[in-house]
Amino acid sequence: MLVLSTLGDEPMHGYAIAVALQKTTDDALRVEEGSLYPALYRMEERGWVESSWGRSEANRKARYYRITPAGRRYLEAQTDGWERFVEAVRKVIQPA
Domain segments of the chain as ranges: 2-93
pLDDT, tens digit, for every residue of 2-47?
999 999 888 999 999 999 999 999 999 999 989 999 999 999 999 9
Q: Give 90's pLDDT tier (boundaries 50, 70, 90).
A: very high
Say what the pTM is.
0.86
Backbone angles phi, psi at 27, to 5 degrees: 70, 10
3-state SS of the chain is CHHHHHCCCCCEEHHHHHHHHHHHCCCCCCCCHHHHHHHHHHHHHCCCEEEEEEECCCCCEEEEEEECHHHHHHHHHHHHHHHHHHHHHHHHHCCC
* 2-93 fold: Arc Repressor Mutant, subunit A (1.10.10)
- pLDDT tens digits, one per residue of 43-70: 999 999 999 999 988 889 999 999 999 9
What's the Rg (C-alpha) of the chain? 15
pLDDT value at residue 95: 82
